[in-house]
Amino acid sequence: MGNRQWLVALVMGSAAGLGTSGAWAENKTEMQITPYAGYSHLRVDGDFLRDGQSDRFDLAMGGVTVGFLTPINVVIEAGTAFGFHEDIFSNDRDIGLDQDYAAIGYQLDFADGWRFVPKVGRLKWKLESDDRDLVDSLGVRHETLRGYDNFYEASILRHVSPSIVLGFNFKDVDTEFGHNRSGAFVVTFGF
C-alpha cells in the first residue's frame, strides 16, 4: 500500500479506538445497500497504449455496494462498478473500466445525523478498448487488460431519515496501468 492508504488505515484505526458512536448508530448491526453514480477520471500510462502516449479519459460511472455494519461500527462491504467513455465522433477512443471489490472501513456518526466513512480495500479491474488500443507489458495488443490493486475511499453523508443516507464518495486507485480517481453521489439504504 502507498503512503496515502496507510494514512487512511491509521485514521480509521484511531477513530475505532475512540469508540465514539453517534445517536444514529448506537452499536447496532445493519445491512446496507448503496447505489451510486458519478464521474471518474482515468489516466492510462503510455506503456499500456498502442501509440505509447499517456492519455486521460473522463468516464461516466455507476455501481452498487452491499455492506454490513458491525456493532463496533466497522463496515465490511463488497461492490461492483462500471465506467465508460464513448467518443461519438471517433471510434478509436472508446474505453471502459469495470471493477469488483471488497473493502473494510469505520463508520463514524457525528453532529446530529452526519456520517464519515473512510475505507480501504482490494479490487479486481478490467480495462477494455473496442479497437485493441491496449498493450500488455510485452507489447502485445489486447481489447482487455485485467489486474488487481488496492484502493482507498471516503464518504461524507447526511441522514434524511433513520434508514436513508445521502452523500458523496471519493475513491482513489493507483493501478498497474495508471491511475483512477472518482467521485459519486451515493444513497445508502439501511435495514
pLDDT for 25 equals: 46
Contact, 79 vs 64, CB < 8 A? Answer: yes
pLDDT for 189 equals: 97
Residue 22's pLDDT band, with cuts at 50, 70 and 90, is very low
Contact, 81 vs 65, CB < 8 A? Answer: no
pLDDT for 132 equals: 65
CA dist., res. 108 & res. 22, Å (int): 7
**The overall pTM is greater than 0.85:** no
Q: Is the model's pLDDT at 41 over the cut of 50? A: yes
- What residues contact 103, with CB distance under 8 A and at least 6 apart? 65, 75, 76, 77, 78, 79, 119, 120, 121, 122, 151, 153
Q: Which of 6-20, 56-70, 94-108, 168-182 has the lowest mean pLDDT?
A: 6-20
Contact, 55 vs 66, CB < 8 A? Answer: no
Report the Cα–Cα distance between both ends of the chain, in Å, rounded.
33
Q: Is 36 exposed, middle or buried (0-12, 13-18, 19+ CB in 10 A)?
A: buried
pLDDT for 28 equals: 85
3-state class (DSSP) for residue 101: strand
Residue with the larger pLDDT of the pair 180 and 91? 180
Cell numbers placing 131: 479497437
pLDDT digits (tens, 9 = 90+) for 92-150: 568 899 999 999 999 999 888 999 999 999 999 999 987 768 998 888 898 999 999 99
Mean pLDDT of the chain: 87
- The domain made up of 3-24+34-190 has a fold known as Porin (2.40.160)
- What residues contact 106, with CB distance under 8 A and at least 6 apart? 12, 15, 16, 73, 74, 75, 117, 118
Residue 12's pLDDT band, with cuts at 50, 70 and 90, is low
Percent of the chain past pLDDT 70, that is, above it, reads: 83
Residue 19's pLDDT band, with cuts at 50, 70 and 90, is very low
Contact, 15 vs 106, CB < 8 A? Answer: yes
Q: Is the model's pLDDT at 170 over the cut of 90? A: yes
Residue 50's pLDDT band, with cuts at 50, 70 and 90, is confident
Give the Cα-Cα-Cα angle 10, 171, 88 (nearest 5 degrees). 165
pLDDT for 51 equals: 86
